[in-house]
Structure 1
Amino acid sequence: MSVVFLSTGPPTVNVEKLRSVAKSYGVVVDAHEEEHYRHLLNGLDATSAVIDALPAYTDPRLLPDPSTLPRTYERLAGDADKNPLNSWSHQTTITAPKALSSKLDGKKVVVKDNVSIAGVPLTGGTFPELLTGKNEYPIPQIDAVVVKRVLESGGTIKGSANCEHFSMSPLSFTSASGPVHNAWLQGYTTGGSSSGCGAVVAATQVRAWRKKYGLPLNDSELGEGVEMAIGGDQGGSIRIPAAYAGIYGMKPTHGLIPYTGIISLLPLIDHTGPMTATLEDNALLLSVLAGYDGMDPRCTPETPLRQNVPDYLSLLDTWKAEREATSQWTPDSAGKGLRVAVIKEGLGVLGLSEEVKKIMESAAAQFKAIGADVQEVAIPMHVLGPAIWTVVSRPCIVSHGLENRVTPMLQYAMPDVTPPVFDQKAYEILNKHNPAVVNMFFNGAFMNEKPDANVALAKAMGHVQQLRDAYDGVLKDFDVLLTPVNPRVGSKHPEHTMEVDGKMEPAIGATLNTCQFNVTGHPALSMPAGWGKAPDGTGMLPVGMQLVAKRFDEMSIFKAAAAWEVAGKGLDKWNGQLN
């Protein structure tokens, strides 16, 4: 292999720098060889300077449609009057005058505040100095692919929704702008890290539900809502807030929806997907967002081209119509032919409350009642899933996520996100607002300092495939798998002044039924299954169930969910009491 340097200029690298570089490896270079290696380093430095001098290049496919410009916005984060749930980060109104289709006509969509909207500040749920090392948030020059696809389909981008600090909390009290409240009960978690997405869609859900039951509207407690949101999920961050918020949240198959233009945590586990007030809207939005974009390395040969993406809602409607034509779309026959596997280990995870377990048993019984074949199956590796997810993610999540270092694959690299070095000042801020991020830095250093760090990572990666095979083995005989989402009914926000353990304890166990499917890539939907009593209070809060299918088989999930709801939707299992 030959190396060509573009330098003929004066030397910029001295011997001291060479020695420093060698010392980082514990190497001492022989004195008579130092000049040779110094010369090579100097050539590299000069070559690097050539690239440094070039202007940044932005892929024109990501530039905003000129017809949608100029854009204005209002920051609502922390504004208790306009934003009582603290669900909104920035509010705007962006439409495309000449959309390519009318699929989303009349639909309002928000995106998690780690998704780029050209001209609108991006926060990542943290403080600007931790995201860029400056006092101001970056303002992207590009629209993320999911944003472009919403606009091209006739939808309106209404802004960004608050998210948890660096997307690292399954609960909703760590955002830099303060806690995000549950739309059903103020002061309680709405789940994270796509917390604002959950709350802003739930505001729409609550209004419709209260109207249905003839209850007084509580608009002043909710703020503005939307029908649809686009969340992010690395360990459960779409499904968990969807469960606590009583809405529908789909973590699609890994690589089905491009992640281009979204702040990453780790490509292996990065997912983005729809969070909606209805199942039908979830199917609709998924068909708009899905399909290869030619830029995201998370996409694979299995990812469909845009023109080959299924029209999930149309297919669902056709399937329903076929059953209605044969008088099967009834509460006792809608599920005939469906095969549902209840994962035994999912009902035994650490911290799962008896109340949530009973709701899951009732959900399984409802599948039986509609004529589905329901069986409890053992998947022993399900219990190991969280450990596999942890060991696979910890060594690299700091570098690729919290430091935004570019992976060695062609991609859009989010150049405006330039976190500074983790130091004492960063520690003190993060320790106060979200100790989970501090823990992640410590975890990464601890794992990478092990002499056998790469061996452990390689072994864990092998077990990812084994875990995928375990689920696929069961899915040969079943259409969907069933587990709980949230292990407990939503908790109260902890006091901001609590010590680390007080802030971390409520989140323990939250991802034990969700993170497995981030590493295996299977699609998983959270949907309302019933109600539970709020702890430390007299209110009621939604509880979610999770349906999982084969990779790229989101259609089976939509069918099973729709059939289940023929016998009664989860939010309709209300006992007549809110307090």
Structure 2
Amino acid sequence: MFVYHVHATYNLVEKDSWLWFSRLGPPCLAYRHFRRPANLINGPLKAMIGRPSLLFSSKQLSLRTTEYSQSIAGALFCRYLSARSRCLSYHLQTHPFLAPSLAPHLLSHATGLTIEASDSDITLDKIEELASRLSIRLGHGQDAKDYLLLLQSFEEVMKQVDQMPDYTHPDLQAQPVLGSRRFWKPTAEENPFNAWSHRCSLVSAKPDSQLLGGLTVAVKDNISVGGLPTTLGTLSSLFSDDGTYPVSEIDSTVVSRILRAGAEIKGTSTCESFCASPLSFTSATGPVHNPLLHGYTAGGSSSGSSALVAAHALARGRHGSWGSTAQIAIGSDQAGSVRIPASFNGIYGLKPTFGLVPYTGATSMSPMIDHLGPLASNLNDIAALLEVMAGYDGFDPRMTPESPLCHQVKRYSRILTDFRATLGVVPRDSPPLRVGLLSESFLMPGVAPAVRDTVLEAASLYFRAAGATVVDVSVPMHLDGPVIWTASTRPSMSEWMCKGKTSGHLTHLPPHIKSRWPPTQDTYQLLTSSNPAVVNIILSGQLSETELEPGLEAKAHRKVFELREAYDRALEDVDVLVAPCAPSVAMPHPDLSTGGEGRSNILEKLSIAIGLTSNTCPFNVTGHPSLSVPCGFSSPQDQPGIRLPISMQIIGRHWNDEQVITAAALFEWGRDLKSV
């Protein structure tokens, strides 16, 4: 059975005539002057699927989103209306994946119907142009006229939605705060690392708990904070002509939860342009500097979040100007954008299990790899922040039936506290942890020898000191992880990241973010000079759409299942896997000048980022929880006297995020034992 959606508008001859169908019961008719047609309508229209809602006023008859079976009912209805009215316009919309034959079916019965094209931008020439892009030739025959009617109907429907007032769900409205939601641009003195985007001071007027009481938080600038602008790390001209950024009217789910847990949000942190860099030089406001070594990368794309947390940890008990800092932060992670900057700055960064933390209110790069996660200088804050952020919110389609409801979220803070209380106290008949060193991760191209050796030595030494079993584990497919990540996300990434497309599932995108599309020459110039990775993503999308086999992306998704299964098999024999995080220590920013021999060209800007996420991005597509854990130091090539952090990843089973946190605590305990 074919199902159609119909929208029709008519001007009636009878000025006082009206008809009405009830949504609540079977089709019924209230009428004046229209007596004989009642039998016609109550008969054939009983074939309608569902219960329609029809309203016929004295001057206009409007039939909206009414489902018809492929019977004569719809045609008889239209024939009756055309006989009783002066029909000036008729618009028909069909389901895009169902039979498109309704137009001629109705037109053959509904005589006298004409298309009112004066209000439509769709013409026969436009239809021919659209078809030609698909290598289809329509001409100006009856087929083109029928499709013209269909597309004009679709245009009319979309215009109606455009004219409707927008809707914000009450659960996403900005939380009541003490005082106002005033924001300001930070001064150079309070922002020495260029890590703040906008400053504020938001404290809930009605907190539910004090799990984060007394903690200050930075929120990555792709996550909606009510009353504050969202920049996505890019230029305002990509959003507006007047040089302003869009201001959010909503609090993202995680922001609401953080406020209700008693924390103070101090502002939004600088992020990389469109969140599309693992380094920290692409933001429209300039490079974000590593607090450990000015002029060096803080990592990306959660660059500001990581720098602010690291600066806070470094500033404790030290003299000097560290500016305004934050104790904890949240970032987004699509390929390593929480873990890589955590590694470069020597702090902790967690990419949770996919679907554990709602992404609602944050801008997407690709729905399959979108994660929000905590950054902190200690595990206690990681556990507390995860506990606050996690849990189903009813808006995010990334969350699965396995996602816990809020009251089912594990008490990560208590789990960590209880675990630490047993260390060195409770006698064990078996090792407290089975650790697998992921062999292929140490062979990944680009991993510096100093990083490889530091992670291997630290993991082996400190886990064993704590009583854990440490073994080598092989997952050969891990080396294909970066290829699978790219092939499964890049073909459509520009649709989500730049165009703002919905995922096809019911979702709640940030309503204030409306990027300009398609890109212009000015857009190209701006992005090429700041972050050519975005242009690469846009062009890759065009190439995929026009030149590549459509089934390749789907095949890559099937390879994701295979990769996930490979890690799952490895995690049957061990509790966690260990791999290097960033493949090197932090490096200097590239030359961003617009001219001169020292200027970095496109490939130079991109080449320094190649391979940085090779060991992190596979776990974005597979969804395994992964925690960046500081484990040592090494020197950059150009600064042999400087020591910068190295981190390892601890990867766990799905929904066992507490396991990676307690594994990190065990590693810390083993390190403390060896340092005594």
TM-score by length of 2: 0.80
Aligned residue runs from structure 1 range 382-531, under 5 A: 382-420=478-516, 421-452=518-549, 454-497=550-593, 498-531=600-633
Aligned residue runs from structure 1 range 256-275, under 5 A: 256-275=356-375
* Identity between Structure 1 and Structure 2 (%): 39
The residue number in structure 1 matching 2:441 is 346
Would the aligned equivalents of 1:6 and 1:46 in 2 still touch at CA under 8 Å? no
Q: SS at 2:301's partner residue?
A: coil
Q: SS at 2:158's partner residue?
A: helix
| Distance in 1 between residues matched to 2:226 and 2:157, nearest whole Å | 32
Residues 126-154 of structure 1: per-residue CA shift (max 9 Å, x gap): 00122456521000000000100001111
Read off the aligned partner of 1:368 and give its amino acid letter. Answer: R
Would the aligned equivalents of 1:93 and 1:159 in 2 still touch at CA under 8 Å? yes
The residue number in structure 2 matching 1:19 is 128
Give 1:45's match in structure 2, choosing from 131, 150, 155. 155
Would the aligned equivalents of 2:308 and 2:326 in 1 still touch at CA under 8 Å? yes
Q: SS at 2:671's partner residue?
A: coil
Shift of 1:33: 3.2
Shift of 1:92: 0.5
Shift of 1:70: 2.5
Residues 147-189 of structure 1: per-residue CA shift (max 9 Å, x gap): 0000111111111000111101111111111110111111111
The answer as to 2:335 corresponding to 1:235 is yes
Give 1:152's match in structure 2, choosing from 227, 250, 260. 260
The answer as to 2:282 corresponding to 1:280 is no
Shift of 1:71: 0.7
Read off the aligned partner of 2:411 and give its amino acid letter. Answer: D
Shift of 1:93: 0.5
Would the aligned equivalents of 2:217 and 2:329 in 1 still touch at CA under 8 Å? yes
Residues 344-399 of structure 1: per-residue CA shift (max 9 Å, x gap): 11001111111111111112222122211111111100000000000011111001
Residues 476-529 of structure 1: per-residue CA shift (max 9 Å, x gap): 111110000111111011111311222122212100100000000000000111
Aligned residue pairs total 556
Shift of 1:451: 4.3
In structure 2, do the counterparts of structure 1 residues 450 and 35 end up closer, same or farther at CA, with 3 Å as the change threshold? closer
**CA RMSD for the aligned pairs?**
1.9
| Distance in 2 between residues matched to 1:314 and 1:87, nearest whole Å | 32
| Distance in 2 between residues matched to 1:404 and 1:414, nearest whole Å | 9
In structure 2, do the counterparts of structure 1 residues 534 and 283 end up closer, same or farther at CA, with 3 Å as the change threshold? same
The answer as to 2:325 corresponding to 1:225 is yes
| Distance in 2 between residues matched to 1:505 and 1:35, nearest whole Å | 52
The answer as to 2:358 corresponding to 1:356 is no
Structure 1 window deviating more from structure 2 (238-247 vs 33-42): it is 33-42
Q: Which has the higher contact order (CA 8 A, sep 6+)?
A: 1
Q: Give unmatched runs, 5+ long, in structure 2.
A: 11-88, 90-115, 594-599
Q: SS at 2:541's partner residue?
A: helix
Shift of 1:69: 5.7
TM-score by length of 1: 0.93
Structure 1 window deviating more from structure 2 (89-98 vs 195-204): it is 89-98
The residue number in structure 1 matching 2:174 is 64
Would the aligned equivalents of 2:634 and 2:644 in 1 still touch at CA under 8 Å? yes
Q: SS at 1:203's partner residue?
A: helix
Q: SS at 1:66's partner residue?
A: coil
Aligned residue runs from structure 1 range 42-441, under 5 A: 42-68=152-178, 70-76=180-186, 79-132=187-240, 135-208=243-316, 211=317, 217-220=318-321, 222-326=322-426, 336-365=431-460, 366-420=462-516, 421-441=518-538
| Distance in 2 between residues matched to 1:450 and 1:69, nearest whole Å | 55
The residue number in structure 2 matching 1:576 is none
In structure 2, do the counterparts of structure 1 residues 368 and 103 end up closer, same or farther at CA, with 3 Å as the change threshold? same
Q: Give unmatched runs, 5+ long, in structure 1.
A: 212-216, 574-579
| Distance in 1 between residues matched to 2:240 and 2:578, nearest whole Å | 41
In structure 2, do the counterparts of structure 1 residues 564 and 394 end up closer, same or farther at CA, with 3 Å as the change threshold? same
Q: SS at 1:44's partner residue?
A: helix
Would the aligned equivalents of 1:7 and 1:43 in 2 still touch at CA under 8 Å? no
Give 1:534's match in structure 2, choosing from 612, 636, 640. 636
| Distance in 1 between residues matched to 2:523 and 2:380, nearest whole Å | 43
In structure 2, do the counterparts of structure 1 residues 569 and 403 end up closer, same or farther at CA, with 3 Å as the change threshold? farther
Read off the aligned partner of 1:20 and give its amino acid letter. Answer: E
Q: SS at 1:287's partner residue?
A: helix
Would the aligned equivalents of 2:492 and 2:541 in 1 still touch at CA under 8 Å? yes
Q: SS at 1:37's partner residue?
A: helix
Shift of 1:271: 0.4
| Distance in 2 between residues matched to 1:121 and 1:206, nearest whole Å | 29
The answer as to 2:97 corresponding to 1:2 is no
| Distance in 1 between residues matched to 2:671 and 2:467, nearest whole Å | 14
| Distance in 2 between residues matched to 1:322 and 1:534, nearest whole Å | 39
Residues 17-45 of structure 1: per-residue CA shift (max 9 Å, x gap): 33223323222336133333222222222
| Distance in 2 between residues matched to 1:460 and 1:557, nearest whole Å | 28
Would the aligned equivalents of 1:256 and 1:304 in 2 still touch at CA under 8 Å? yes
Q: SS at 1:85's partner residue?
A: coil
Q: SS at 2:299's partner residue?
A: coil
| Distance in 2 between residues matched to 1:252 and 1:441, nearest whole Å | 28
| Distance in 2 between residues matched to 1:432 and 1:158, nearest whole Å | 31
Q: SS at 2:367's partner residue?
A: coil
| Distance in 1 between residues matched to 2:143 and 2:662, nearest whole Å | 69
Q: SS at 2:573's partner residue?
A: coil
Would the aligned equivalents of 1:189 and 1:244 in 2 still touch at CA under 8 Å? yes
Q: SS at 2:608's partner residue?
A: helix
